[in-house]
Amino acid sequence: MWSHGYKGGKDATSSAPQGYVGIFATQGYDLYRFDREWIRDWPGDATQLAEAVRQAKAMGYRRVILAGQSAGGWVSLAATMRGAPVDGVISISAAHHGEVKDMRDVSIARSEWQQIVKGIKPGPRIAMVNFTGDSYDVGGRMDDASAAFAASGVQAVIISDPAGFKGHGAGYDNAFARKFGPCIAQFIETGAKQPPCN
């Protein structure tokens, strides 16, 4: 289930998934989108996505992977925290508080992030990516996730500031999909950590 990013006042429901998603399609996964033209209720969106995963499992899907960019990465993690029975989550440049320059209090975004990563229970494998120069990043989030997952036992691959990729939308770069897509997919499917993801 792909969840797109969001920018105030713009409809992002026609945006394409990032390139690495195609790896899962070639492995036989069906692709669904979790479209939200406007986001007014973050907890409600996460709850709705968690329910969509439950419905997919009830329909007979053996494995369900959540993947998303920016707001989509955030809502994928939040749905997992709310108990969505997922097998894996790929969160790229997760954000939902807007750009740092527009925040009145960056500690709110950091605190809410910490609550999410601490609230995820072992079970699904998590792949998380953050890029240098991300104008939505309040800093320290990958360290927060590493510490939270080490404490809880969540299996995770955390790719922080990979060389050659910069900015909030770097996950859309086809070079990112070529370089990191195979090892992300391998980890989500088998738990094996291979270069350059390890």
Q: What range defines the domain where residue 149 resides?
A: 2-190
CATH number of residue 30's parent domain: 3.40.50.1820
In a domain, 150, yes or no: yes
In a domain, 159, yes or no: yes
Which class for 10: exposed (0-12), middle (13-18), buried (19 or more C-beta within 10 A)?
Answer: exposed
Which class for 77: exposed (0-12), middle (13-18), buried (19 or more C-beta within 10 A)?
Answer: buried
The pLDDT, as a whole number, for residue 40 is 61
In a domain, 76, yes or no: yes
Angle at CA 54, nearest 5°, toward 80 and 36? 70
Name the residue among 198, 127, 129, 131 with its Cα closest to residue 161.
131
State the total domains in the chain: 1
In a domain, 195, yes or no: no
The pLDDT, as a whole number, for residue 69 is 94
In a domain, 197, yes or no: no
Residue count (the chain): 198
CA atoms within 13 A on the CB side of 190: 7
Q: Give the pTM.
A: 0.93
Residue-wise pLDDT for 17-57, tens only, equals: 999 999 999 999 999 988 776 566 666 788 899 999 999 99
In a domain, 142, yes or no: yes
Name the residue among 3, 16, 19 with its Cα closest to residue 177.
19
In a domain, 196, yes or no: no
Residue-wise pLDDT for 171-198, tens only, equals: 999 999 999 999 999 999 999 999 999 8
